Amino acid sequence: MTNQSNSTATLTTEAKKTHQQPPSKPHWPLYLILATTFVVGAVSYQFLTLTQSLTAGLLFICIAFWATSLVPAYWPALGLFAFATATQLAPTQVIFAGFQSSTFWLLFSGMVFGAAINHTGINSRATRLLMLILGNSYQGTIIKIALFAMGLAFLIPSGVSRIVLIIPIIASLADHFGYDQNSNGRKGMLLAAAFGTFLPAFSILPANAPNMLLSGMTETLYNMPFSYGGYLLLHFPVLGLGKLIMTIGVILWLFPDKAPSQAIQATIEKSAITTIETRLLIVLCVCFIFWFTDSLHHISAGWVGLIAALACLLPSLGLMAKNSIDKDIQYGTLLFAAGIIGLSAIVAYSGLGNILVNYLTEVIPFAKDSPLLNLSLLTFISTCVAVVTNLAGVPAIMTPMAEHLANITGLSNHAVLMTQVLAFSNVLLPYQAPPLITAIALGNLSISAVTKVCLMTFILTSLILLPLNFFWWHILGMF
């Protein structure tokens, strides 16, 4: 009997140890990535300069680590800064371009806004208003959040700005609905907000950076300004509404959950607005007004957000806790964002993007009498560029080559340019898109959850929406 008791105690102790110390991840994926990186660099050196081959290896290892989440997202970013600086891959202003980017400071200000919204209690007030709209079913909640998020794309021109506005509110709403941190319900709500305000926005001309970069470069290089209505008609029916419907279906399939808890919903009560809430609302409203009117004053959304964040951090206003700058700002995510932007700048500086496009245009079999094939191949080229650089890298690299590609394919210049939209609206991995990085930071979302939605929407878009989009273009007489 004693031996049995000792055996039971030993098993219990071992079970506790197992529970307290979960098994570590296998190391072979890490070794595989390191070995493959060495191979990529060595093979690249046979065809490229030393700087370009080192950049190719750096690009591969950063993307691999960010895509697999084998290490924290900030680690590859810090490694990138250290390696690029030590090897002098580019000037320091290029390597650390992320810290000078308005996107970086917009992400910082978004974290400050989120902390201020939680500290003042505005999140609960906004949650109450949204609960009256969203209803009681989980499916209905996801659909309405996605529709509301898409509606913001018609009002706020910056994708990161929209994420900054909506994610803290939806996170608070998920808490009040009874969804804990790791629940599918919380993930689904945050993903519906992030992807709902991000993916359909590529079909709305002023709604994000790649659209505006494409429009500005096209007008400068080819004197072909885009019209708001023409761009909307060309892209919104399939890339807007179609992608929104598809994204909602993917989220409901990947992250099913029960209906929101009615008991928790009932705990939010009406109350008079406080002085501190009024102060924060004034700061946010002034910030949003400047965001809405950026076409008039031409001040970047990042710098507007930074000024508003300074107001929130001013101790005398009482909009944030005293230690918020240490407790509520996720510096690891900020380094992650700076690393991605810096990597894109290094790749552009090295010329790898142009080398890729030139190589692909030489080996890909374009045929002047096959417009559908040519459109598909052009979309593929732009998609490759988006993976190597980021979404904004597509218009930066592809737009100057549009006239040359039009001559090769026999398509119109306009059709060639519009294939870029098909590519940069089809996101393969989160690192390509600063708004998704911001959503990961503000909503405390796992990279794996966002990656799952990216991969599924990428596959479904390639197989279903792109053919539908080509059919829609054919009806409109694009080819």
Nearest to 303 by CA among 104, 165, 148, 29: 104
Residue 394 pLDDT more than 80?
Answer: yes
Mark whether 351 and 238 lie in a shared domain: no
363 and 423 together in one domain: yes
Residue 20 in this model has a pLDDT that exceeds 60: no
Residue 74 pLDDT greater than 60, yes or no:
yes
Which of 280, 315, 333 is the C-terminal boundary of a domain?
Answer: 333
Residue at 242 is within a domain: yes
Cβ proximity of 166 and 197 under 8 Å = yes
Give 378's pLDDT tier (boundaries 50, 70, 90). very high
Last residue of some domain: 312, 333, 354?
A: 333
Residue 179: give the domain boundaries: 100-210+224-333
**Rounded CA separation 473/22 (Å):** 53
pTM: 0.73
Residue 245 resides in a domain:
yes
Where among 313, 333, 353 does a domain terminate?
A: 333
Identify whether residues 386 and 472 lie together within a single domain. Answer: yes
Does one domain contain both 326 and 436? Answer: no
Rg (CA), the chain: 24
d(CA 327, CA 304): 23
The per-residue pLDDT for range 350-375, each reduced to its tens digit, is 888 778 777 877 888 888 788 999 99
**Among 389, 468, 381, 394, CA closest to 425:** 394
- The verdict on residue 46 lying in a domain is no
Same domain, 129 and 267: yes
DSSP state letters, 375-400: HHHHHHHHHHHHHHS-TTHHHHHHGG
Q: What is the dihedral of CA 239, 241, 242, 243, to 10 degrees?
A: 60
Same-domain status, 380 and 457: yes
User: Angle, nearest 10°, between helix axes 352-363 and 402-409?
Assistant: 10
Torsional class of 23: left (φ above 0), alpha (ψ -120 to 50), beta (otherwise)? beta
Query: Tokens 């004693």 belong to which residue?
Result: 2
The tally of CA atoms less than 13 A away on the side-chain side of residue 405 is 28
Q: Identify whether residues 122 and 271 lie together within a single domain.
A: yes
* Same structural domain, 426 and 472: yes
Residue 380 — very low, low, confident or very high, per pLDDT cuts 50/70/90? very high
Does 79 map to a domain?
no
Model confidence pLDDT, tens digit, residues 419-442: 999 999 999 988 888 889 889 888
Phi, psi values for residue 227, rounded to 5°: -95, 145
Question: CA of 287: how far to CAs of 65, 308, 311, 321, in Å?
Answer: 36, 6, 11, 21
Locate 128 and state its tokens. Answer: 């109450």
User: Do residues 64 and 36 touch, judged by C-beta distance below 8 A?
Assistant: yes
Position 437 scores a pLDDT of 84
Claim to verify: residue 133 and residue 250 sit in the same structural domain:
yes
Q: How many domains does the chain have?
A: 2
Distance of CA 183 to the CA centre of its chain: 21
pLDDT in tens, 21-44: 445 566 778 888 888 889 988 888
pLDDT mean over 366-389: 88
Please enumerate in sequence order all residues whose Cβ is within 8 A of that of 230, keeping only pairs 6 or more positions apart, or say none: none
Same domain flag for 461 and 359: yes
Work out the widest C-alpha separation in the chain, in whole angstroms. Answer: 91
Domain annotation covers residue 325: yes
Q: How far is CA 466 from CA 199, 283, 313, 473, in A?
A: 14, 42, 46, 10
Question: DSSP string of 404-432?
Answer: HHHHHH---HHHHHHHHHHHHTS-SSGGG
